[in-house]
Amino acid sequence: MPLSEFSLIERFFARRARRGPQRAVLGIGDDCALIAPAAGEVLAVSTDMLVEGRHFLPNADPLALGHKTLAVNLSDLAAMGAKPRAFTLALALESPREAWLEAFAEGLFALADRYDCELIGGDTTRGPLNLCVTVFGDVPAQAALRRDGARDGDDVWVSGTLGDARAGLGLMRAEWDASLFDERERASLHEALDRPEPRIALGLALRGLAHAALDVSDGLAGDLLHILERSRMRADVDVDAVPRSQALRKLPLDVQRQCALAGGDDYELIFTAPPHARDAILDAGARAQVAVTRIGTITALRHATDEPAITWRDASHAQLSLTLHGFDHFDAN
Amino acid sequence: MPLSEFSLIERFFARRARRGPQRAVLGIGDDCALIAPAAGEVLAVSTDMLVEGRHFLPNADPLALGHKTLAVNLSDLAAMGAKPRAFTLALALESPREAWLEAFAEGLFALADRYDCELIGGDTTRGPLNLCVTVFGDVPAQAALRRDGARDGDDVWVSGTLGDARAGLGLMRAEWDASLFDERERASLHEALDRPEPRIALGLALRGLAHAALDVSDGLAGDLLHILERSRMRADVDVDAVPRSQALRKLPLDVQRQCALAGGDDYELIFTAPPHARDAILDAGARAQVAVTRIGTITALRHATDEPAITWRDASHAQLSLTLHGFDHFDAN
């Protein structure tokens, strides 16, 4: 296919990009975009690459894919307490079909516009479908929600409910019987997988409150461990306190736990904060219109040989021995 | 392959990334990196995606590929007059082989270290080989070399020589007889294709001198037109003045012209500047240790129906009618 087709794509995205307010010093159309953080703040930067067959199925709905491509990147800004500002999009396509591109851009820009996030540059080329976004947000350097700030005695919190995206994937794969769920529940599980909502408002509300935060992309077990490793801490987590949706509760308890503790693609926030901040955290959740739930406690490493780890307990505080399988995205390896 | 292998890759790149001086507020290992431009300046941002089979051959030398992946991005900073600062790398790999990764990282970081450009984040996933870099540089907003600043009467300049990368590709494809060249010439053509040198020093030296600039990735004809379109200008170019290497001159004249005018992957700078700046431009080239050559003149659109375009002339100023074929990267479509 001639390059001119790719120029058309670029113009298509560029035109959409200019609908919103221009927030960059210089946007699409030059060798580089020019951007500066808000006065006194720094830029938070994150890159995610989505690959067909791994992060989404070959026949994925392009509207949902456009949403999710940006959503997983905005989720990284949320986890940092950053305010969305701009993004670049590089995409490789085997054969550009106009209807597909139209729907993809629709999903992408609907989300971008909601968060006032401007497309400032990118690249289009021919190749196996690949979507790479780099996203930029504003945050005061000292207020950024890092992974290394968890302290002894902090509460561990999560937003929303966990495991729904993994349950939605299982539903799509017929790992469980669809008749377990009513129509609304099935829709909510698919929605969790296809259209995750980045917790931007919550991330902003947690500035100055949370000591550490990240977003759940690979599953609670693995992602909380990232906080513990960077902070050199341990955690006790009450498995029964991990918030699960009504739909997820239709599955057997062991499957619920696998989904909620080791399922990925949730894009909820895990964060830690001191007990005296509990009311403020609940208030932040209310303002951000998302439930926030305490699920455990951070504890210091007591001995020289202690390593960062999670101790799973049930509601009676008895220690559980769980074998968790990491989220395997869309392939069976 | 288990995710843990990809974690290993990430740790491998992260370890290399910390060898140099840390220039970001927060580098690899959190949800986002944190970065701020130099005081009073803005960040120049550019993204390029390299795909196997399109931008490089499946059996490409990983050392050269590591160099080129970053070089084509740094070239965009050069074209903006920006000073390299940091980059992110997202890569998809079918099967991570340690020797390949080692060589790729070697080529990548050798160039990054030369320009004091820090790896601040990225993503690794399984998929068809795809390399996506987003690069960041510092530039005072008013000194940025944009595409839209060319003025009536400006000289058109290029750095280095043009067409060598295309000639190197032709050599690799046996489009021409290798025995036309001596060994040193063959090496220089391959080098031009595999290891382009971003013109960072020249870009910095041109701040305040050049009115407009970009880098040659798709060929002089197409890329100069980008300046003309953004600046709403025309250009007269003396085809015989376009600098060609001794190696390129071994090819028939019409092939030389195709390579020099429409060959891509050169990553030299095209820029425009007023005639009174000629001595300063030559001085800038000398300081940056790269030849700079005047090849033409910018002229205003004279009539309402005039469109931005290039008029090709020979040394006697006679107008030439050239049919140029755009650079087709590595496939035959």
Helix/strand/coil for A299: strand
Q: Please report whether residue B74 resides in a domain.
A: yes
Q: Note whether B124 and B270 are same-domain residues.
A: no
Asked if B80 contacts B139 with a C-beta cutoff of 8 angstroms, the reply is: yes
**The last residue of a domain, from among A88, A115, A141:** A141
Q: Note whether A120 and A200 are same-domain residues.
A: no
Residues A253-272: tens digit of each pLDDT: 999 999 999 998 999 999 99
Determine the distance in angstroms separating the CA of A13 from the nearest CA of chain B, rounded to an integer: 15
**The last residue of a domain, from among B123, B143, B163:** B143
Least CA distance to A86: which residue of chain B?
B45
Instruction: Show the CA angle centred on residue B108, arms to residues B106 and B112, nearest 5°.
Output: 115
Contacts 24+ apart (CB under 8 A), A182-190: A185/A246, A185/A247, A185/A250, A186/A247, A188/A164, A188/A245, A188/A247, A189/A164, A189/A165, A189/A247, A189/A248
List of residues 6+ apart from B5 with CB closer than 8 A:
B96
CATH number at residue A171: 3.90.650.10
Tell me whether strands B233-238 and B310-313 are parallel, antiparallel or unpaired: parallel
Q: Please report whether residue A52 resides in a domain.
A: yes
Inter-CA distances, B7 with A191, A226, B12, Å: 29, 12, 8
Contact residues, chain B, for A3 at CB < 8 Å: 218, 326
Residues B184-233: tens digit of each pLDDT: 999 999 999 999 999 999 999 999 999 999 999 989 999 999 999 999 99
Contact residues, chain A, for B144 at CB < 8 Å: 26, 32, 34
**The last residue of a domain, from among B94, B115, B143:** B143
Averaged confidence pLDDT in chain B: 89
- Integer Cα distance of A294 and A69 in angstroms: 29
Determine the distance in angstroms separating the CA of A69 from the nearest CA of chain B, rounded to an integer: 14
CB atoms within 10 A of CB B232: 13
The letter for the amino acid at A87 is: F
Residues B176-197: tens digit of each pLDDT: 999 999 999 999 999 999 999 9
Q: Note whether B160 and B308 are same-domain residues.
A: yes
Residue A26: strand pairing partners: A34
B46 is in an annotated binding site: yes
Q: Please report whether residue B261 resides in a domain.
A: yes
Q: Please report whether residue A8 resides in a domain.
A: yes
The letter for the amino acid at A114 is: R
For chain A, residues with pLDDT lower than 70 are 1-11, 15-23, 325-333
Residues A87-125: tens digit of each pLDDT: 999 999 888 788 888 899 999 999 999 999 999 988 888
Helix/strand/coil for B213: strand
Instruction: Tell me how many domains chain A contains.
Output: 2
Q: Please report whether residue A254 resides in a domain.
A: yes
With the C-alpha atoms ordered A75, A80, A86, A89, is the resulting torsion angle positive or negative?
A: negative
Q: Note whether A124 and A162 are same-domain residues.
A: no
Q: According to the model, what pLDDT value does residue A5 have?
A: 56
- Integer Cα distance of A217 and A205 in angstroms: 21
Q: Note whether A58 and A113 are same-domain residues.
A: yes
List of residues 6+ apart from B9 with CB closer than 8 A:
B93, B96, B101, B124
Domain that holds residue B56: 3-143
Put simply, the chain A residues between 139 and 158 with a CB less than 8 A from any chain B CB are: 139, 141, 144, 146-148
Contact residues, chain A, for B1 at CB < 8 Å: 333
Q: Exposed/middle/buried for A317, CB within 10 Å: 0-12, 13-18, 19+? A: exposed
Say which of A26, A36, A42 has its CB closest to residue B146: A26
Asked if A210 contacts A146 with a C-beta cutoff of 8 angstroms, the reply is: no
B171: part of which helix (H) or strand (E)? helix B164-172
Q: Note whether B31 and B103 are same-domain residues.
A: yes
* Chain A contact for B319 (CB, 8 A cutoff): no
Residue to substitute from B5, B31, B55, interface A, most A β-carbons within 10 A: B31
Structure tokens, A279: 């009311």
Contact residues, chain A, for B132 at CB < 8 Å: 47, 49, 90, 123, 130, 132
Q: Please report whether residue A178 resides in a domain.
A: yes
Q: Please report whether residue B330 resides in a domain.
A: no
pLDDT tier for residue B332 given thresholds of 50, 70 and 90: very low
Whether residues A42 and B55 touch (CB distance < 8 A) is answered with: no
Put simply, the chain B residues between 198 and 257 with a CB less than 8 A from any chain A CB are: 213-215, 218, 230
- Integer Cα distance of A164 and A191 in angstroms: 9
Whether residues A47 and B136 touch (CB distance < 8 A) is answered with: no
Q: Note whether A179 and A304 are same-domain residues.
A: yes
Instruction: Show the CA angle centred on residue A116, arms to residues B82 and B72, nearest 5°.
Output: 30
Q: Note whether B241 and B296 are same-domain residues.
A: yes
Residue to substitute from A32, A72, A73, A130, interface B, most B β-carbons within 10 A: A32
CATH number at residue A74: 3.30.1330.10
Q: Note whether A199 and A160 are same-domain residues.
A: yes
* Chain A contact for B31 (CB, 8 A cutoff): yes
Q: Note whether A48 and A118 are same-domain residues.
A: yes
- Integer Cα distance of B1 and A328 in angstroms: 10
Helices B98-114/B3-17 angle, 10° precision: 30
Q: Note whether B211 and B133 are same-domain residues.
A: no
Put simply, the chain A residues between 81 and 110 with a CB less than 8 A from any chain B CB are: 82, 88-92
Q: According to the model, what pLDDT value does residue A332 have?
A: 37
Instruction: Show the CA angle centred on residue A149, arms to residues A146 and A153, nearest 5°.
Output: 140
Q: Please report whether residue A72 resides in a domain.
A: yes
Q: Note whether B159 and B299 are same-domain residues.
A: yes
- Integer Cα distance of A71 and A197 in angstroms: 7
A47 is in an annotated binding site: yes
